[in-house]
Structure 1
Amino acid sequence: MTNETFKLIRLYLGQTQREFSEEMNIAESTIAKVETGFTVLTEKNRAKVVRKFNTDDPEFIEFCKRMKQRIY
């Protein structure tokens, strides 16, 4: 999972970094560092996200496409 995908999951869920942090049981500072590319997502934290969120969801995939079009 890329840092970009990690952030897109949070945005798709409509959560702040704090809310996402609480739901995923990951420190808020870690969320910020991963999203900005300052650090990589650990396997442990990646597993937490994957257990709670399906990145193969067609609605999420479409959301990612729309968000990437806005950026680029």
Structure 2
Amino acid sequence: MSPNLVTTLSILAAALVVAGLANWQLRRPVSGRFLPFLPWLGVQFLAALIAIVMLGHLVTLLTGQEFKSRYGY
């Protein structure tokens, strides 16, 4: 495996774990949360965004073709 693939998979796994943790924290009452002052919805959004970007990068690494916009660049 190439180092880029390992790095991409590691970041993807970490983002999914953080998103799962944030989802779990959002379902708990505010008084029982791990860090109640942390905006868990924002953390979950950022983790999901990173996971989507890493999935796109993973497709690029596995197929060998870059994603192109509809305008060709």
**TM-score > 0.5, shorter chain as reference:** no
Q: Which has the higher contact order (CA 8 A, sep 6+)?
A: 2
Structure of greater Rg? 2
